[in-house]
Amino acid sequence: MLSYQEFMAAGNVTNFPSGHENAGNRTLARAFKRQRVDQSAQRMEALKKMLSESKTGRQTLEFLEEKGSKMIFEKMKYYGYFSPDKNIVALNPRMSNEDLAVTMVHEIRHAWQDSQMQATDPKMTPKAFLASGFAIEADACAAEVTYAHEMREKNPKIWDAHQKSGYAPMSTAFEKTFKETGSVEQARADALMTWYKLPVKASYEKSYVQYMGYIARALKKQKEMEPEYFSKNTSTKKMVNAFFKDYDGKPFMTDPKPLEAPENLSLKEEHAKKLAKALIPYMAKYGRSAEKLGMDKVAVVRPNGEKTTGALIIQQVKDEQKLTAALKKMQNGAIR
């Protein structure tokens, strides 16, 4: 069974969310094919020097050395990625140094998260998988905002680049709270929670649903029972304690309730229906209920804005499948 990171890297999803806007969607992507890029060791050292000029950057580099993760350049359609399976952090050399410095903070944060607790674990219930997946992306993005804030005077281009990106609401929330309270921790927490309101959340929903669908279909084909999958109900309290702290262990957010709020632990209806279709055969084979999978705690947002739950969507899809089967049976009977 592939891990989530292996599944993503194998090209099983239509896009690879890396914490940034997908570069493959940019018109500049065409120009990249003709662009000569610097993939030298000197450039990598220059990027590390940029990180060393702030507290968050230095802590990031210290952890990188401690973990022994390898930094590489790799041409891709996104800014970068971390592979826990290979213990590498890859950066797209086609991007500017300012973008890559922020990406280093983001992706090395994922390496740090992996050292604290396994997120996006297929043994987690779908509810826990979604909660942890959203949490690690929000946290990694909050780390890069904190770095950009610290570098605002030394290298304003980093902050300015963030303010021009699709993640600008996060840096705006950080700055607003910091001016009001003077607390970096509170500002970081507010930036983190702003991530859940960004359009990019939908792309993570999509990739998580695709991966869980892959796991459910693989389990349906297994002859031997594998009850450990989709069974681990990891609490959001454990996630908050594991992830929402600085490298020195100082927490910046301790309340797990926001992670389970309906507006945050949610799926679009189209994604919820795809997940339901993948889960139903698995549920029948292994005797799992929607509640056992935590789907009653996952909010689903319909196109008109109304909310329901993942458990009710599963029941709706079951009913639709029964009706379709009954109609097909009637049609076959009429043909005979």
Residue 214 identity = Y
Give residue 77's identity as a one-letter amino acid code.
Answer: K
> What letter would DSSP give residue 222?
-
- State the Cα–Cα distance between residues 44 and 35, nearest whole angstrom: 18
What is residue 225's predicted lDDT score, i.e. its pLDDT? 59
44 touches 89 (CB < 8 A): no
Kindly indicate the confidence band of residue 13, based on its pLDDT and cuts at 50, 70 and 90.
Answer: very low
Cβ atoms of residues 269 and 302 within 8 Å: yes
Q: CB within 8 A of 133, min separation 6: which ones?
A: 4, 119, 120, 204, 208
Q: Are 226 and 116 in contact (CB under 8 A)?
A: no
Model confidence at 190, pLDDT cuts 50, 70, 90, reads very high
Which residue bears the tokens 């770095």?
147
Please report, for the chain, the start and end positions of each structural domain, with discontinuous segments joined by +.
Answer: 4-264, 266-336
229 vs 13, which has greater pLDDT? 229
Lowest mean pLDDT among 4-18, 55-69, 99-113, 283-297: 4-18
Mean pLDDT of the chain: 88
How far is the CA of 291 from the CAs of 67, 82, 125, 127, 138, in angstroms?
38, 33, 10, 10, 26
Kindly give, in sequence order, each residue whose CB lies less than 8 Å from that of residue 107, ignoring residues fewer than 6 positions away.
Answer: 18, 19, 80, 81, 82, 89, 90, 91, 140
pLDDT number for residue 20: 37
Residue the block writes with tokens 């698995």:
282
CA 123 – CA 131 distance, rounded (Å)? 14
Question: In this structure, are strands 70-73 and 88-91 parallel, antiparallel, or unpaired?
Answer: parallel
The percentage of the chain sitting over the pLDDT mark of 70, rounded to a whole number, equals: 88
Which pLDDT belongs to residue 331?
A: 79
Return the pLDDT at 19.
37
Q: Mean pLDDT, to the nearest integer, of 170-192?
A: 98
Mean pLDDT value across residues 229-237: 93
Out of 110-119, 166-175, 253-262, 266-275, which region has the weakest mean confidence (pLDDT)?
110-119
Q: 40 phi and psi, to 5 degrees?
A: -80, 160
Determine how β-strand 307-309 pairs with β-strand 266-268: unpaired
The confidence score (pLDDT) of residue 219 equals 83
Residue-wise pLDDT for 266-275, tens only, equals: 999 999 999 9
45-49, 114-118, 295-299: lowest mean pLDDT where?
Answer: 114-118
Identify whether the C-beta of residue 154 lies closer than 8 Å to the C-beta of residue 54: yes
Asked whether the beta carbons of 247 and 59 are under 8 A apart, the reply is yes
Q: Is pLDDT of 33 > 80?
A: no
pLDDT reported for residue 6? 66
Structure confidence at residue 307 (pLDDT): 96
pLDDT of residue 30 exceeding 50 = no
Q: Report the C-alpha gap between 118 and 266 in whole angstroms.
A: 21
Count how many residues are written for the chain. Answer: 336
Output 100 or 25, whichever has higher pLDDT. Answer: 100
CA nearest 70: which of 91, 93, 100, 53?
Answer: 91
Are the C-beta atoms of 66 and 59 separated by less than 8 Å? no
Say which residues have a Cβ less than 8 Å from residue 147's Cβ, sequence separation at least 6.
51, 54, 56, 57, 60, 101, 102, 105, 158
* Res. 14: pLDDT tops 90: no
The pair of three-digit structure tokens given for residue 1, joined into one six-digit string: 């069974």
